[in-house]
Structure 1
Amino acid sequence: MNATTKPDGYGALIEPTTLRIQRLLPGPIERIWAYLTDSDLRSKWLAAGAMEMKVGAPVEFVWRNDELNDPPSKRPADFPEEHRMQSRITELDPMRKLSIAWNNSGDVTFELEPKGTGVLLTVIHRRLPDRSTMLKVSAGWHMHLDVLVARANDKEPAPFWDGWARLQQEYDRRLPA
């Protein structure tokens, strides 16, 4: 890993509107790929939604963040219990890379790289439209990836919304205004 790899740390802006965040997960790579592409597994850390493995294929993500930990923490008033987003796959290299057009808030790329017995997952979210979105998205990716790390290690994740609220304040201090 090079000096810019932070597999357990905070995301960082690599361009003014581009966030990169990484996590080191237990392998094999096929298992982590399934957490990205299988609706049932993805629903345990991010959002449900069937995904046809084909460039241009539509994807509907369905977030139910209250279901990511038990008991759930208190959801902020301005977030619905369920959120749906229409997207599409823009790039696909099975077991290595998956890029998705993230409706109204840029594009997201997931990259997988073997690291010993583990897998380095890099999430790059490009073209974040404004600072408010950037703070919500940064805290969101951080918390969702922490949930994925817990699930991939067969552990119960920390309360999602409590962590998200704390992380949004942290990212407000860390990211340039």
Structure 2
Amino acid sequence: MNKKHGVFTEPGTICFERILNGSAEEVWKYLTESEFKAKWLSAGDVEPKVGGTVTHEFDHSRLSKEDDPLPEKYKDLEEGQVSKGVVTKYDRPHVLSYTWDEGDGEGSEVTFELESHGEEQVLLRLTHRKLPTDSDTKAGIGAGWHTHLSILIDCVDNKDPKPFWNVHMPLEKEYEQLISNLSDN
């Protein structure tokens, strides 16, 4: 389950499911506390209330100890990237939803759902809705979440994550093919 591709459940929506070790409370801090969120996704605060601000300060080079050259395609991210959003649902430690500024005036919405899964494990369900319509962006978002979630699993397990871009770029090709196959049907 932890290596499965995200599933495009409807136009503009991708869903992932991952099993993580630990309790919902332990995983929750990786979603909401900047110190932990910075280890797998981005630095930045999540105000713990509906209407609160979510800040993402992306710097993928900080996610691994290994050298991770930035691909030419993503050179515009060399100085990092900041994105903001607004919390739309906050039910600690079960559901966190927030908008994500896509720079198009519309934005998208990300939802994390946590539920107990056996002894000391958590099922994380991530749903990203209102994605941009172009295939390249969707493939990048799919590969991005897939990579970030792999890093999250490593962080929760106290393992050194693999370099972001070394994992992301091959996955992006796989997501391009998945999207192409969906378009062919």
- Partner secondary structure for residue 44 of structure 1: helix
Counterpart code for 2:60? N
TM-score norm. by structure 2 comes to 0.89
1:84 to 74, 82, 85: 82
The residue correspondences of 1:12-161 to structure 2 (distance < 5 A) are 12-77=7-72, 78=74, 79-81=76-78, 82-104=80-102, 105-116=107-118, 117-130=120-133, 131-161=135-165
Distance in 2 between residues matched to 1:112 and 1:127, nearest whole Å: 21
Q: Which runs of 5+ in 1 are unaligned?
A: 1-5
What whole-Å deviation, never above 9, does each CA across 1:13-34 have from its counterpart, x for those lacking one? 1111100012110011100001
Kept in 2, the 8 Å contact 1:75–1:161? The answer is yes
Aligned length: 172
Going by fraction, where is helix more abundant, 1 or 2? 2
Distance in 2 between residues matched to 1:19 and 1:66, nearest whole Å: 25
CA RMSD after TM alignment:
1.2
Distance in 2 between residues matched to 1:26 and 1:71, nearest whole Å: 24
Alpha-carbon distance, 1:115 to partner: 0.1
Counterpart code for 1:56? G
Distance in 2 between residues matched to 1:139 and 1:37, nearest whole Å: 22
Distance in 2 between residues matched to 1:148 and 1:36, nearest whole Å: 10
Counterpart code for 1:30? E
Alpha-carbon distance, 1:8 to partner: 3.4
What whole-Å deviation, never above 9, does each CA across 1:40-84 have from its counterpart, x for those lacking one? 100000011112101011122101101101123111233413110
